[in-house]
Amino acid sequence: MKKPWMEDWGFAFDPFEHLEASQDVHLHRYLVGHRDWSAVLAEQPHVVFSPPGGGKTALRLYLYRTCWTGGQGQRPFALHYSLPDCWEFHTLASLAQLSEEELYQQHLSQMVRMGARSLFFGSCYFPVLFLHHCPPAQRAALAQFIDHVAPETRWYLEVIRETKNPNTAAVHAGNAFVLNHQPDFALLEAFLREWEKALKGEKSTAPFSSSLEAFEQELFLIREVLGFPGIFILMDGVDGMTAYQRLDARKVLKPLLRRIPEWGEQDIFLKAFLPEEVHEVLEEDLREVLNQFPPLFIRWQVSDLIELLQARIRVATGGAFDSFASVAAPPLCYEEVERILVSMLPEHRLLPREALTLVSELLNAYTQRMEHFHPLKRLEQEDVEWAGRRYRQQYEIFANRTEIQSWR
């Protein structure tokens, strides 16, 4: 059911609904590249810090899609490693009880599975990767490896066979894997036939003695068989883990972060997207690594957030307009409404999530006012003022709660 303002103004969907980027199925359509994001595309390790809601997940998705869309083996191979998705039945505290070696093996096991998913969906979206880049003699090894370490791909394969569209399966694996690219029908058909043959071919995958052995086999397939020039491991979401505590986060992250230099020499580049608050505790253990590879801190300007909001409006309206000024009554229609909204944010909360929260308050204000008959279905100045008051109230409640928790 459409929200009243969507029908009134011609929005096909609500582009402000999801405050968590990974839940937004439309995110790829209006990803706005931050000025610092291009630096993270470099073939080197990066540790990126940002407060919650500061764009870490959006940057991870941006990197993944940039590597895959149009790359087809020419850019580094990108794999998602979102901790909440991989460890949904574990708390951060329970993982922190493991030894460093046990943690490392567990990390490798999950990265191998996520890498196999990326290989599978990359081949579905871009069939030439399997049909042209993978030598025929290695097709069975590749397909059977993926089937072995990520058996869920069997079901994804059935979905794609029925729908002839990788998006329909990728969305079940997680929005992060959706590339919104429709491959050539004939190539996709050829891929499905050859993949089936490879799965039924002579068995080439024996059980692995360790997660490290499986990881090394996956690296071989990615680099030597498919010819990718490097690998980006996109790690994110530690602050989204159940029972998150920064000291537990330090222990869980340490086995991977300390291998940054070693992996870098093998063209394996860890891109870690972390909450800003763990920077201090990580620096105690990993000062040498962080000095060698200085961390990046995502900082948003007013103009960045205005662009972010306007891109969402433009996509959701099919390009009809890109500002709330187009659906506002005088005198608001003569203003850049998005700038007015963003200027209400405290300087230390210039974050995408905060901007989206404020817009949601604006739309709630309009919806409530429209419960009484208004023939002119336009935003009014009072809606903006109401949204500002509501946001400040919520912010004060949050600040007070945080202060109490810190005191305890």
List pLDDT tens digits, range 92-126: 889 999 999 999 999 999 999 999 999 999 999 99
Regarding whether 224 and 343 lie in a shared domain, the answer is no
- Helix 100-125, helix 246-257: angle, nearest 10: 70
Regarding whether 172 and 57 lie in a shared domain, the answer is yes
Regarding whether 347 and 292 lie in a shared domain, the answer is no
Going by C-alpha positions, the residue among 61, 74, 52 that lies closest to residue 26 is 61
Structural domains counted in the chain: 2
Quick one: 290 exposed, middle or buried, by C-beta within 10 A (0-12, 13-18, 19+)? middle
Weakly modelled stretches of the chain, pLDDT under 50? 400-408
Regarding whether 313 and 269 lie in a shared domain, the answer is no
Regarding whether 307 and 289 lie in a shared domain, the answer is no
pLDDT for res 405: 41
- 398 occurs within a structural domain: no
pLDDT for res 304: 92
Distance between CA atoms of residues 144 and 39, nearest Å? 36
Element (H, E) at 353: helix 352-369
Regarding whether 249 and 368 lie in a shared domain, the answer is no
DSSP tag of 257: H
* C-alpha distances out from residue 157 to 153, 168, 271, Å: 6, 10, 29
pLDDT for res 89: 76
Task: Say what the pTM is.
Answer: 0.89
Cα dihedral angle (300, 65, 52, 349), rounded to 10 degrees? 20
pLDDT for res 374: 72
Regarding whether 46 and 94 lie in a shared domain, the answer is yes
pLDDT for res 34: 66
Regarding whether 290 and 319 lie in a shared domain, the answer is no
